[in-house]
Structure 1
Amino acid sequence: MREQKTADVLVIGAGIIGAATAFRLAERGLCVALLEAQAAPAMGSTGRSAAGVRVQFTEAVNVRLSWESIQEYRAFPELYGEDAGYRPIGYLFLVPEAAWARHQAGVALQRRLGAPVEVLPPEEAQAIVEFVPEGIAGATYGPADGVVDPHRVTHTYLRLARARGARLYLETPLLEARHAQGVWRARTPHGWFEAPYIVNAAGAWAGEVARRAGLEVPVWPVRRVVFVTGPLSEPHAYPLTVDLASGVYFRSEGERLLFGRSNPAEPPGFREGVDWAWLEPTLEVALARFPWFAGLSLDRRACWWGYYEVTPDHNPILGRMPGVPGWVNAAGFSGHGVQQAAAVGRVIAEEVVDGRAHSIDVDPLRYERFHTGNTRLEAHIV
């Protein structure tokens, strides 16, 4: 177990991003070793996400990454003989007056890039979801938006990667990594690994993984909580609905609802467990917009928590690390990793094999933006 292992690329993290990247690298003929700290894949942010996929973003690169990924998830049965669990239940954004102009500009961008998005007046949106319309200028609806099964997608990509020679090492955290003579040497509890390239796809742990290599990558973990209701008395298929005025969201999951709201006051860190103190503030704003929430029950045993991997501008960090040979970042998705993984796997493989991503221009997401002042805050963060 302690012999030295060599590869062309070490991918750190076997969540959905790492799995998609390993598949695409192996597909291009590279020898890939995938190092996962946990006892099984998809046990971090991937497995604890709310599983939404959407095209409604304000930055073109985010729209393209998400839209191309959604199209791949939709085609999973034809491409890979597996069902990605894709269900186009839709995303409905309720937009306050102050954000309406910016939101309409986002719709124009999304449509220009080929993504289907509809603009609805409040009364048409109320036919989809009953809500109090005060302060709402209008709504946008993405009919191709919806949900996938993150576990199934991850395991499909891993199967495809391993069929092409990739090796998966579980319970193998990266303890330290150093670069010398064109090769990265990574120490793990099971010995040393060597490869010319390391892809940092460690999710919420990406900042820590970088520090173990002597690097600073601005990715921090922030806890997010998903609350779950009991079965509805009158089952109804709700799209993933977001009240942008308060940040509260919900969607159907079988006979239940999932709902939540980001806590802007919670500092970064690996806090564990459901934050029950955040339930009352979440319900307070939910009831103001959706009074029918008063008739719902809560299943405390079904609620869960996970981590967003957050960056300063809520955009991922993709591509080669400037001045650091062989280090490639694929992290910091700020809650959007599941919906962008399929396309990210391709662009990271291009970055490694071809020297630069070319199917999608990811220059706005490169690390250098933090030093050139070219950061652009993604406005559509839930």
Structure 2
Amino acid sequence: MTTTADILVIGGGIAGIGVAARLSGSASVVVLESEDVIGRHATGRSAAIFIKNYGNATLRALNAASEPLLATGGDLSDTPFLTPRGELVVATAGEEGDLESYLDGSDGLERLTPAEAVAMFPILNPEYVVAAALERAAQDIDVDRLLQAYARMARHNGARVVASAPAMNITRTGGVWQVEAGGETYAAPILVNAAGAWADTVAERAGVRPAGLVPLRRSAAILPAPEGCDVTGWPALVSASETWYAKPEAGKLMVSPADEDPVEPHDAWPEDMVLAEGLHRYEQAMTVPVTRVERSWAGLRTFTADRTPVVGFDPEADGFFWLAGQGGYGIQTSPVLSELAAALCLSQTPDLPASLLAALSPARLARA
């Protein structure tokens, strides 16, 4: 027996569940997720912070367009998905140029003196910091609540989310995509590829040329708060050259080496040496040593060659829609990308500039 729908979505992370929610009011939708729960991989391992000035010009435009829903809850929640945090960018000797590059074209960043930076993150080594900047508007994102809000909307509107259903055989016959997943067959004229690190794998299974997506491993560790310190109100902290970052997390500190090692799609785990080297870089900027790692993990951030998401119908494969390559920006851009993807799938006119649509289009990619 074949289950039919208007649109099949492969991938149950924030991208797939978000677009399913936005589509579900106008179309019948089935989401196929390979894991036993939604949000298992990149979504569930996000650093969970909204930084308006994060990414290239295209991503900064997407961040700005997504902020209203995240800041208010929009039609998903009566309360915001954001809480105040702030992001402090610090430069040591030799990183001044990196800080200036980050400030260039930014919105709402303010310069701080080294002393002001140390006052905000008290264990910073005053001898390390030569320049600093603060983005007060950076905020924590309640990722799980956002994901579940999208899932509730999708299910309320009749969308079906099928777990433990990896999409294996994918074919197109008579204008319809057929997908064998979890021992069942699903069919729809439109197939949305929101498979994250596996998006090129899904394309290959469908006979579609890959987009050149590269999964990059990003590691993180939880450290106990320094003795006698309440870190709750401290800002997120990042080196100007992005060789490490730290963020308060449930009364402790999350620290990442900001690694970007190319890997094959898999259930990622941290490499001990990479994590140790990153923690050492962080430690060099502090006045207290790293004494203990309580737990560690890794996730995959998947990028195109130009580090910009790919959103739109494939120019060579009828009914094949890309929603991938969000890199480290997938959570904070999910409001606008979900609405954009839904509008394009439904043949509606998106409320975004043509230049932004062109920057996201699969047609821009040079594929072998």
Please say whether Structure 1 and Structure 2 have the same fold, judged by a TM-score greater than 0.5: yes
The change in CA–CA distance for 1:80 and 1:272 in structure 2 (over 3 A counts) is closer
Unaligned runs of 5+ in 1: 373-382
Contact between 1:221 and 1:270, CA under 8 Å: does it hold in 2?
no
| 1:330–1:348 contact (8 Å) kept in structure 2 | yes
**1:5 to 1:368, Cα distance in 2 relative to 1, 3 A:** same
Matched, 1:153 2:140: no
Question: Aligned match of 1:122 in 110, 114, 138?
Answer: 114
Matches within 5 A, 1:227-376: 227-233=221-227, 234-236=229-231, 237-245=233-241, 247-264=243-260, 267-270=263-266, 272-292=268-288, 294=289, 296-300=290-294, 302-354=295-347, 357-359=350-352, 361-371=356-366
Name structure 2 gaps, 5 residues minimum: none
Secondary structure, in 3 states, of the residue corresponding to 2:178? strand
Post-superposition, which runs of at least 4 consecutive aligned residues in structure 1 deviate over 4 A? 82-85, 132-137, 264-269
Q: Write the letter of the residue equivalent to 1:239.
A: P
Q: CA deviation at 1:138?
A: 3.5
Judge conservation of contact 1:224–1:306 (CA < 8 Å) in 2.
Answer: yes
| Alignment match of 1:179 (pick from 146, 164, 172) | 172
Where 2:366 maps in the other structure, the secondary structure is helix
Aligned equivalents of 2:103, 2:345: Cα separation in 1: 37
Give, in angstroms, the shift of residue 117 of structure 1: 3.2
1:13 to 7, 11, 21: 11
Q: Partner letter of residue 9 of structure 1? A: I
The aligned residue for residue 380 of structure 1 is: none
After the TM superposition, which of the residue ranges 7-16 and 50-59 deviates more from structure 2? 50-59
Q: Which letter maps to 1:106?
A: G
C-alpha contact 2:216 2:261 (8 A) present in aligned 1: no
- Work out whether 1:226 is the aligned partner of 2:220: yes
- Give the TM-score normalised by the residue count of structure 2: 0.89
Asked if the contact 1:146–1:240 (Cα under 8 Å) also holds between the matched residues in 2, the reply is no
Supply the AA of the counterpart residue of 2:15.
I
Shift of 1:127: 2.6
Q: Which amino acid aligns with 2:97?
A: A
Cα distance in 2 for residues equivalent to 1:156 and 1:371: 36
Task: Report the 3-state secondary structure (helix = DSSP H, G, I; strand = E; otherwise coil) of the residue aligned with 1:342.
Answer: helix
Question: What is the alpha-carbon distance in structure 1 between the residues aligned to residue 33 and residue 151 of structure 2?
Answer: 12
| Shift of residue 225, structure 1, vs aligned partner | 1.4
Structure 1 distance, partners of 2:260, 2:272, is: 15
TM-score, L = length of structure 1? 0.86
Of residues 134-143 and 5-14 in structure 1, the stretch that sits farther from structure 2 once superposed is 134-143
CA change 1:79–1:117 in 2 (3 A) is farther
Cα offset for 1:179?
2.1
Deviations 1:167-191 (A, max 9, x none): 1111111112222332211122332
- Is 1:207 aligned with 2:200? yes
SS of residue paired to 1:291: coil
Q: Percent identity?
A: 26
**Are the structure 2 counterparts of residues 140 and 319 from structure 1 closer, same or farther at C-alpha, using a change threshold of 3 Å?**
farther
How far apart are the structure 1 equivalents of 2:264 and 2:366? 22
SS in 1 for 2:85: coil
Cα 1:181–1:357 shift into 2, 3 Å: farther
Q: Distance in 1 between matches of 2:27 and 2:103?
A: 43
Distance 1:298 1:87 in 2: 28
1:50-95 Cα deviation digits (max 9, x unpaired): 212211135332112222323212211x633455642220122224
Q: Judging changes above 3 Å, is the alpha-carbon distance between structure 1 residues 287 and 134 closer, same or farther for their aligned structure 2 residues?
A: same
